[in-house]
């Protein structure tokens, strides 16, 4: 049975997609079977895994509308296979934005992804879900499916403020829809230890959230930002870079964490 994690933060541009694709590649690199689900109509995680979102015949949209199964809609990426870090991809494109409206009158609409994942769960060790920057019905589908939430965050003042909203949403989903759900951890990303404020916020996070803060820290690293334009995660694009190495360490930390879950 796969452990299922959402990578979520309603704040935009904080590094959710970078975390999802690099963690997926890092987990594949250490021998884990991974399915990456792109829950964002922007389709960045799809493109960043080497799959052209415009060419996809079936996507998460078809799965949510129950016109296809995950087994039918998932794809592999040649670039990831060549890079030796292959994971399966359930892709998304702008069509997915329509699902929100089309599912309005459907019963149990927030459970569609959970039910679809249950059928392939045995084939994977990890399922990683890249959430959009909102607390929408799509994100709710992700949160209802997951055992835990990974929250990437930049160590800035307003990051802490946004965290309160996310923590409250997770508490509500936990109480009403998914008793399994918990925050697995906060991941410090785009970190620059030379910036005093970042070091201070990092200390505050550890004081407040204790071992919910992952040991792994992802530095600000230009190779991670360059990788998407080549259609691969940084872990594949430049395995020797500091950014790639930090994501492989994070993958190892996740493997250890799920053994304790
Ligand atoms: P959205 O909310 O739009 O989905 P996101 O939270 O998924 O955004 P990303 O797309 O992962 O955020 O990252 C935002 C930008 O920051 C991208 O241009 C990405 O390449 C860059 N970036 C992410 N992480 C790092 C890093 N560790 N070092 C340098 N650049 C990074
Ligand atoms: Mg994103």
**Where in the chain are the domains?**
3-260
Q: In b/e form, how buried is each residue of 67-85, taking b as 16+ CB within 10 angstroms?
A: ebebeebbbebebbeebeb
- What distance in Å separates the CA atoms of residue 21 and residue 154, rounded to the nearest whole number? 18
pLDDT at residue 145, as a whole number: 97
Ligand closest to Cα of 150 equals: 1
Q: Identify the architecture of domain 3-260 in CATH.
A: 3-Layer(aba) Sandwich (3.40)
Query: Interior CA angle at 114 toward 108 and 120, to 5°?
Result: 140
In tens, the pLDDT along 135-171 reads 889 999 999 999 999 999 999 987 778 788 889 999 9
Kindly state if the Cβ of 220 falls inside 6 Å of ligand 1.
yes
State whether the beta carbon of 11 lies less than 6 angstroms from ligand 1. no
Strands, sheet with 34-38, edge to edge from the N-terminal-most edge strand: 88-90, 34-38, 126-130, 3-7, 148-153, 182-191, 213-219
| Length of the chain counted residue by residue | 261
Q: What is the pLDDT of residues 77-116, one digit of tens each?
A: 999 999 999 999 999 999 999 998 898 888 889 999 999 9
| Alpha carbon of 176 to ligand 1 centroid (Å) | 31
pTM: 0.97
């Amino acid at each position: 049975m796969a452990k299922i994690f959402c990578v979520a933060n309603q704040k935009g541009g904080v590094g959710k997609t970078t975390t999802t694709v690099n963690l997926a590649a890092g987990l594949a690199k250490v021998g884990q079977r991974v399915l990456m689900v792109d829950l964002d109509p922007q389709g960045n995680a799809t493109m960043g895994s080497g799959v052209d979102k415009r060419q996809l015949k079936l996507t998460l949209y078809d799965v949510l509308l129950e016109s296809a199964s995950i087994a039918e809609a998932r794809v592999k990426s040649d670039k990831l296979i060549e890079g030796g870090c292959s994971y399966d991809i359930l892709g998304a494109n702008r069509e997915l934005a329509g699902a929100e409206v089309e599912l309005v009158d459907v019963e149990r609409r927030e459970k569609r992804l959970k039910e679809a994942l249950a059928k392939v769960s045995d084939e994977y060790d990890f399922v990683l879900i890249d959430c959009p920057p909102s607390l929408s019905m799509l994100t709710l589908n992700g949160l209802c499916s997951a055992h835990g939430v990974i929250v990437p965050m930049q160590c800035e003042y307003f990051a802490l403020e946004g965290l309160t909203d996310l923590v409250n949403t997770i508490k509500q989903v936990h109480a009403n829809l998914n008793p399994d759900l918990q925050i697995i951890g906060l991941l410090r990303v785009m970190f620059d230890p030379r910036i005093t404020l970042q070091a201070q916020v990092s200390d505050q996070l550890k004081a407040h959230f204790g071992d919910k803060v992952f040991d792994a820290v992802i530095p600000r690293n230009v190779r991670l930002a360059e990788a998407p334009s080549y259609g691969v995660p940084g872990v594949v694009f430049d395995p020797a870079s500091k950014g790639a190495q930090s994501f492989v360490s994070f993958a190892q930390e996740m493997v250890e964490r799920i053994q304790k879950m």
